[in-house]
Structure 1
Amino acid sequence: MQLLQGAFDVAGQGAGRTALVSGEAGIGKTSLVTQLVAELRDSRVLWGGCEALFSPRPLGPLYDMADALGSKLKAMLGLEGRRVELFTSFLANLQESRETTVIVLEDLHWADAATLDLVKFLGRRIQRVRALLVLSYRDDELGERHPLQMVLGDLPADAVVRVPLLPLSEAGVAELARRARHSADGVYAATGGNPFFVTEALRAEGMPATVRDAVLARAARQTPAVRALLDLAAIVPARIEADLIDAILAPDRADIAAALASGLLTADGRSYAFRHELARFAIEQALPAPLAATLHGKMLACLERREPPVATSRLVHHASGAGDSSAVLKYALHAGDEAASHGAHREAASLYATALVHADALAPAERAGLLERLSYQCYLIDQNDKAIAARAAALPIWRELGDLQHEGLTLRWLSRLHWFGGHKQEAEEYASQAVELLQDLPDDEAYAWALSNRSQLYMLSGHTDESVEWGTRAIDLATRIGSHEVLAHALNNVGTARYAAGLSDGRPMIERSLEISLAHDYEEHVARCHANFVATAVKNRDYAEARLQIAAATRYFTARDLDSWSNYIEAWQARLDFEQGQWDAAATTAIRLANSHGVAPVTRMCALTVLVRLRMRRGDPGVKELMEELKTLASASGELQRLAPVAAALAEDACLRDAADAVDPLVLQAYTMAEQRQDPRSRGELRYWCQKLGLADPGPEGTEAPYALQLSGQWREAAQAWDRLGCPYERALALLDGDEAAMREALAIFESLGATATVRRCREHLRCAGVRGVARGPRATTSANPAGLTSRELEILALLTDGLSNAQIAGKLVRSEKTVDHHISAILRKLDARSRGEAVSIASRLGFGTTGGDVVGRA
């Protein structure tokens, strides 16, 4: 309560906060939040919850609070394509409120994708409003890939208060038993201290073996009429409207009073709900299948007649429970389309999958269309194997029907999906099949898509001429038949291929693609334009342009939460920071992406490459394991843009370890490919490292300018070129080939970057060159501990152990917060930790302790 009250007080000063109330089912989350709301009298409360429907209603919590949001917002609910405007209006509503607002969103572990998008939207902006956003969820039901897990990880840490609820202690359980005049023997052991378990066990007669038995025992003591009421309420998640119970059962007041007196149900005037969701679930699971189907059927019939119409997802829930295939198909398809329009792609996929189970009665073309809808939603939510399986199942249906257009489009999609899955050969085969099948339909949009898909594959693999040839054909056809979407897609492919090759007309083509995509609201194509602008600018070392494009992309993504694309651009941001010597920033971004689940392989490869090279240069642990994963991903992609950075990392690693006789075969594979593709960037870096390893004696021709200077022995000019580009590490490598003064300058640069492993090799190089007075290693205070922490870092780690914030540490050490941030980043990196708490834990395991506020190493 103190944590929540404190967060509310800060929010009331205009700096909103998010409170995460978590714990297992029955731990008391609702009780805590209810008590908080009761004590905060001078505030506006907006309360909504998520439900355990077969597929939740998109933005269900907003419907719960709709009456309190005003007519404008209420009117926007349910309108297709208005999600961004709806969220923005909700935020404006909070900003305009004179009172501090408490927004309660319960049971987020059941949230639909649109509701999670709302949480992310509000959570990222909560500091701008006078509001406390209270999110409750069952943390024991969040697997590693649960979508809520990723949303919580993206919330700004400085605006989040975590309130984990723990079970009752054994003494607490004994006190409850004493107050209930019940024996405490065995209660704690049987319940684990869960408040709901304890309460139900103490209310039951005798000690039940499980809570399920406790709930069912209480239900069994009711009259048949009351038990019928409980059974009906149990098939409806969250709450059931009173008029529905009246319509189906027509209970008398005595039966309703008895149901409420049982302690299982509660009432709020217009609806009834189980006091605990676990109780509802226990009764629902105990229902005989025929009785459950009958109750679902009656509920479905009532809801179908209801005015105004109820959420389609509720109809799907009861149609599924009733086993009514025709109703499932009718409502699941509509609800799936509705969910997709709200951006609730997970729910859409679930609904389409439910419909597919009942799709035997559909005509072949309708069944194939359903498979395509399911495939597309799976593609959007990173369930690529399911997406491929659904498209593959649709393919023979279109062939049997003789529908060449749909067959060709399916082949094109199978090509795209296999590319996403890392199966380059299959992607190429399907792409060729699509073109061959559709070439006899020269004026068809499906053929235009096949041509553009072929161009895209060539662009991605670095075949510029082929990409331009196929893309130009797609542009001509799309223009002739008036297909704006194919035109935008093909312009992007051709423009990116030419822009990456350094041709001046490439960029305007991407800009035209972006203009078309914005005009027609093709969000995916807009995102692709931004991504290709950023990636190509970084690849061409046009870092100023890359930063401008990242800023533009961020502005576009802010209101849309297109995470797959924003993550991709963040990976390139990490690479940009890495190449420009901003290693701590690069590491922070790369670690976040590497530790995130569901990140696309192309994004993960970029982040892992940055992380591997940072750890390798700094001598940090964990390089080998990450490198093996990286090699597997890059090899499966078969693309030079993925292989070349990995090969460069492998070659540099061999140089740092003085292991020229054990170079990974991937290095020469990528080197050969770079020569074949005549790619200046890849050629330059790989030629440089291969020359250092004695694997080749290449010339400077055809490489980017700084590497050409280095390869020709012009170290001073190369260092100046790297300096103009803003690449300190590469500048130091060039200086290392120079005279004594240049070599000493190189050593200083490596030390300033924290490149411990490179510094060690640099010192050896200087000593071999006869340079005197070169220190042999880090100071004794740094090497005295297994993690290589400096004295200052050890001091800060001690203060972290004491629970001090960055600001408090800065004040204690008389340093700026930014300096403390840098030190903490270094501590996390050296300890291979993901958080401050994990760093403290790791330090303890390594044998560090505190003595008078200082951390000391014990060998």
Structure 2
Amino acid sequence: MDDTVELIERDQALQLLQGALDVAGHGSGRTALVCGEAGIGKTSLVTQLVSMQGDARVLWGGCEALFSPRPLGPLYDMAGALGAPLRAMLGIEGRRIELFAAFLAELQEAPGTTIIVLEDLHWADAATLDLVKFLARRIQRVRALMVLSYRDDEIGDRHPLKLVLGDLPADAVVRVRLLPLSEQGVAELARQSSRPAEGIYAATGGNPFFVTEALRADGLPATVRDAVLARAARQPPEVRALLDLAAIVPARIEAGIVETVLAPAPADINAALASGLLRTDGRAYAFRHELARIAVEEALPTPLAATLHARVLAELERCGCAAMSRLVHHASGAGDSDAVLKYALQAGDQAASHGAHCEAAKLYGTALAHADGMLPPALAELQEKLSFQCYLTDQNETAIAARLAALSIWRELGDVRQEGRTLRWLSRLYWFGGQKVEAEAYATDAVQLLQDLPEDEAYAWALSNRSQLYMLSGHTDESVDWGMRAIDLATRIGSAEVLSHALNNVGTALYSAERPDGRPMIERSLEIALEHGFEEHVSRCYVNLVSTAIKNREYGDAQTRIDEAMRYFAARDLDSWSNYISAWQARLLFEQGRWDDAAQGAARLVNSQGVAAVTRICALAVLARLRLRRGDPGAEALLEEASTLARKSGELQRLAPVACAFAEAAWLDEERGVDGIVPQTLELAEQRQDAHSLGELRYWVRKLGITEAGPEGAEEPYALMIAGRWREAAALWERLGCPYDRALALLDGDEAAQREALALLETLGASAVVKHCRERLREAGVRGLARGPRATTSANPAGLTVRELQILGLLAGGLTNAEIARRLVRSEKTVDHHISAILRKLDVRSRGEAASVAGRLGFLAQD
């Protein structure tokens, strides 16, 4: 069956894409998500769309199933169609954000409409996903349609692509999910092929690629693999050799490599193309479908596959123009450990320099698996490279294991300075894993080991690390003392990196104590880090500026820094830091009463694997307190995990939010008792004289009747509440933008204030708190309290009924009013009334806005 056969049962999908392209052509760009299982016809659909356009510019690139994907591979695919300035930026180290901006600028300056096709995003590298995020958030400014295709059955909830898709702006996204063909559609394909349709639908499930292969086969194969291999087996040896060579190269193999390795006769090339398995654009050959390539590749005898990989590797080495990731792929296929080690190291260094830290970690891990013959110093350095990349990408357990391996090598070699450096790093990694005892021990060992050697950068690092640990545990004076020693030594030896690190530590310690000289020191540290490209230290500066501003309730400044940080992270795989800031952003939203957004952000982190303990504690505390206040299930399990991790960290900034959550839980349920973490953390806060933690903890223990501690040394709004000055406290909480805390202050006031507090709590959706307060007020003799919302509506922030929630889900799934009515067996008029109520309750003006809100609040589209 040739490529001229028309698409079957894809009219609606084409109309959706064409409609999005029409909107894009009028200056409001769109992103189209085309998804479905392998072989469902995603490429055929997009090809049809492109063929229908007369003058649209097309930029087409794809992701490949390489061992480690090439960073920004799709962008390199379309390089020939890009402008010269943009092409010149490809491959320049550390310029990813400028490259993305230049790509956007070229789209803005293009005279007509551009179609950007990015295929097989389920194989995408992190840099390509960053490009998608960058463009999707700005696509509405340009005349462009960005079409993203992927296999939705190959991306789980924790797949990086899933997170990217969840962050796309809903009002600029068109979703096209391709379904298998119906039995009638299969019959039509068979008719077009002049083949019998009997048994085809049952054998293929309506998958278009499977159907096509079955129709091409002589007889009905048991599997598509059998159909492909049967067709390949019928080819002459010279043609089969060409198919075998093409099969070991994902995506496509250059014609020049085929010519050098096989030198096929023109007749053999024509026969391969005529077989229906292979296609060409004149410059390269590729299988018509990845499933067919995989079938042929997996059928290759191992010795033959290794020989072919070795020949391709030799040719790529000779021409010197291949991406490192391809060299690694073929070296691995050839079983050439020396070549794998060589190229994986080079590819890892290249990926790291481009900010593709996930790929770098994977490549260094590959190199390590082939490093048996490495000399000990080089092996230790490789372990350290792997550790650093894993540290940046939230793979902390692997980072620790690699550093411990390096430590063993340095000790065996007797290299004291390298041992000291590694001890300092282990201190950092164990802290990141929430293991304070180990972090402190390694920090002390590093200082003691290096202090008797001539002063150098390793010792400066040990001093600064000691300052950092003191800062993190709230010992301001000690942090400043050790940090100033590090700053002095870094200045004398000319180490900009240690200087940036130490300035950050001292500045954060002072800023946390609300000293005016603190924040300027962090900002100076940030300037140095940005100037020298110290990604880790830039990230730490943003983290400390954000977290300290939130603790100081400087929410506007915190949000500004979050926006800056996220723009910086968008061009780099700094997952450890972006996750950490996301956790603090969830806390900011939580304190500001934006609970739906807070819950969504915190839940993403809690449900993600490999998130660092210090990040997880923050997210757990936010989500647990939200569930407690709303009366949602699951709060207890979150609190227990948060308590375990926080106790292990030993730091007041981790313990205090968890202790306050336990105290609030005891207030809401008097029968549960007060967890021991509450008085223990209060004692620690008293020792540190930390006004923020002290104020909230004292407020709760007084409310629980544990102590009568006074307001001295507490944060001002809590000090006012403790002193019984509820009216002033409520006014201050309102100025700070903390509605829940304002409601708590009002609850301590007169009857009018208490009624106002209840109304505010109901607006926030704090159902459990409202119930608790109503009971206490009735016991106190307050009468005439409103009954409150029904349970069915209080369980969701918009106050929707069960039926309205069901209709909202169907609406978000793209169903019309008539389709919803048929689904629910209701009149269309009834559905109209329900949708009007939904729009009113969500405070939106259109079905599209309602669907957008539904996605943001986590209401899933109904099938």
TM > 0.5 fold call: yes
- Tell me which of 759, 772, 778 is aligned to 1:767: 778
| Distance of 1:676 and 1:213 partners within structure 2 | 73
Structure 2 residue aligned with 1:664: 675
Aligned-residue offset at 1:562: 5.1
Structure 2 residue aligned with 1:837: 860
| Distance of 1:458 and 1:101 partners within structure 2 | 54
Aligned-residue offset at 1:574: 3.3
Q: Deviations over 1:182-218 (max 9, x none)?
A: 5545433332222222221222222222222221111
| Distance of 1:137 and 1:82 partners within structure 2 | 27
Structure 2 residue aligned with 1:689: 700
Q: Secondary structure at the match of 1:155?
A: coil
Which amino acid letter does the alignment assign opposite residue 859 of structure 2?
R
Q: Does the aligned pair in 2 maintain the 1:793–1:823 contact within 8 Å? A: no
| Distance of 1:326 and 1:622 partners within structure 2 | 52
Aligned-residue offset at 1:442: 4.4
| Distance of 1:786 and 1:723 partners within structure 2 | 24
Structure 2 residue aligned with 1:754: 765
Deviates more, 1:401-410 or 1:795-804: 795-804
Structure 1 residue aligned with 2:23: 10
Are 1:176 and 2:184 counterparts? no
Unaligned runs of 5+ in 2: 1-13, 818-831
Deviates more, 1:495-504 or 1:788-797: 788-797
1:212-611 correspondence to structure 2 within 5 Å: 212-306=225-319, 309-553=321-565, 556-557=568-569, 564-594=576-606, 599-611=611-623
Aligned-residue offset at 1:445: 0.7
Are 1:136 and 2:155 counterparts? no
Deviates more, 1:225-234 or 1:809-818: 809-818
Q: Secondary structure at the match of 1:161?
A: strand
The normalised TM-score by structure 1 is 0.91
Structure 1 residue aligned with 2:112: 99
Q: Does the aligned pair in 2 maintain the 1:796–1:824 contact within 8 Å? A: no
Cα distance change, pair 792–435 in 1 and its aligned pair in 2 (3 A): closer
Give aligned-pair identity as a percent. 70
Deviates more, 1:444-453 or 1:203-212: 203-212
Structure 2 residue aligned with 1:36: 49
Aligned-residue offset at 1:556: 4.7
Q: Deviations over 1:405-441 (max 9, x none)?
A: 2222222222222222222222222222222221222
Q: Deviations over 1:390-409 (max 9, x none)?
A: 21111121112222222222
Aligned-residue offset at 1:698: 1.9
Which amino acid letter does the alignment assign opposite residue 671 of structure 1?
L
Aligned-residue offset at 1:44: 0.2
Are 1:800 and 2:808 counterparts? yes
1:670-819 correspondence to structure 2 within 5 Å: 670-775=681-786, 777-778=787-788, 782-783=790-791, 787=795, 796-797=804-805, 800=808, 803=811, 812=836, 819=843
Aligned-residue offset at 1:786: 8.9
- Tell me which of 157, 164, 168 is aligned to 2:170: 157
| Distance of 1:449 and 1:16 partners within structure 2 | 49
Which amino acid letter does the alignment assign opposite residue 343 of structure 2?
Y
Structure 1 residue aligned with 2:6: none
Cα distance change, pair 568–127 in 1 and its aligned pair in 2 (3 A): farther
Aligned-residue offset at 1:78: 1.4
The normalised TM-score by structure 2 is 0.90
| Distance of 1:324 and 1:822 partners within structure 2 | 60
Q: Does the aligned pair in 2 maintain the 1:472–1:490 contact within 8 Å? A: yes
Q: Secondary structure at the match of 1:653?
A: helix
| Distance of 1:707 and 1:14 partners within structure 2 | 52
- Tell me which of 651, 670, 678 is aligned to 2:663: 651
Q: Secondary structure at the match of 2:442?
A: helix
Cα distance change, pair 597–18 in 1 and its aligned pair in 2 (3 A): farther
Which amino acid letter does the alignment assign opposite residue 858 of structure 2?
S
Cα distance change, pair 220–788 in 1 and its aligned pair in 2 (3 A): closer
Cα distance change, pair 11–601 in 1 and its aligned pair in 2 (3 A): farther
Cα distance change, pair 55–586 in 1 and its aligned pair in 2 (3 A): closer
Structure with the bigger RCO (C-alpha within 8 Å, sep 6+) is: 2
Q: Does the aligned pair in 1 maintain the 2:804–2:838 contact within 8 Å? A: no
Aligned-residue offset at 1:783: 4.4
Q: Secondary structure at the match of 1:361?
A: coil
Q: Deviations over 1:574-611 (max 9, x none)?
A: 32333233444444544455455665443343333233
Structure 1 residue aligned with 2:823: none
Are 1:619 and 2:631 counterparts? yes
Unaligned runs of 5+ in 1: 842-859
Q: Does the aligned pair in 2 maintain the 1:296–1:321 contact within 8 Å? A: yes
- Tell me which of 135, 141, 146 is aligned to 1:122: 135
Q: Secondary structure at the match of 1:531?
A: helix
Q: Does the aligned pair in 2 maintain the 1:23–1:140 contact within 8 Å? A: yes
Q: Deviations over 1:267-293 (max 9, x none)?
A: 111211111111111111111111111
Structure 2 residue aligned with 1:845: none
Q: Deviations over 1:507-564 (max 9, x none)?
A: 2221221222222232332232222122112212233443444455456556667554
Q: Does the aligned pair in 2 maintain the 1:411–1:433 contact within 8 Å? A: yes
Deviates more, 1:167-176 or 1:311-320: 167-176
| Distance of 2:106 and 2:142 partners within structure 1 | 10
Which amino acid letter does the alignment assign opposite residue 24 of structure 1?
E
| Distance of 1:221 and 1:133 partners within structure 2 | 40
Q: Does the aligned pair in 1 maintain the 2:467–2:479 contact within 8 Å? A: yes
Q: Deviations over 1:290-311 (max 9, x none)?
A: 111111111111112216x222
Q: Secondary structure at the match of 1:225?
A: helix
Q: Does the aligned pair in 1 maintain the 2:17–2:32 contact within 8 Å? A: yes
| Distance of 2:105 and 2:798 partners within structure 1 | 48
Which amino acid letter does the alignment assign opposite residue 101 of structure 1?
T
| Distance of 1:287 and 1:790 partners within structure 2 | 58
- Tell me which of 179, 182, 192 is aligned to 1:166: 179
Cα distance change, pair 823–610 in 1 and its aligned pair in 2 (3 A): farther
Q: Does the aligned pair in 2 maintain the 1:150–1:597 contact within 8 Å? A: no
Q: Secondary structure at the match of 1:47?
A: strand
| Distance of 2:72 and 2:570 partners within structure 1 | 19
Aligned-residue offset at 1:12: 0.8
Aligned-residue offset at 1:379: 1.8
Q: Secondary structure at the match of 2:586?
A: helix
Which amino acid letter does the alignment assign opposite residue 154 of structure 2?
E
Structure 2 residue aligned with 1:81: 94
Aligned-residue offset at 1:713: 3.3
Q: Deviations over 1:37-70 (max 9, x none)?
A: 1011220001111222222222221221111102
Q: Does the aligned pair in 1 maintain the 2:21–2:145 contact within 8 Å? A: yes
Q: Deviations over 1:749-778 (max 9, x none)?
A: 333433222222222232233333334x32
Q: Deviations over 1:295-337 (max 9, x none)?
A: 1111111112216x22222222212211222222222211111
| Distance of 2:225 and 2:448 partners within structure 1 | 61
Cα distance change, pair 706–835 in 1 and its aligned pair in 2 (3 A): closer
Q: Deviations over 1:314-365 (max 9, x none)?
A: 2222122112222222222111111112222222222222222222222211
Cα distance change, pair 334–103 in 1 and its aligned pair in 2 (3 A): same
Q: Does the aligned pair in 2 maintain the 1:419–1:427 contact within 8 Å? A: yes
Cα distance change, pair 585–27 in 1 and its aligned pair in 2 (3 A): closer
Q: Secondary structure at the match of 1:132?
A: strand
Cα distance change, pair 699–822 in 1 and its aligned pair in 2 (3 A): farther
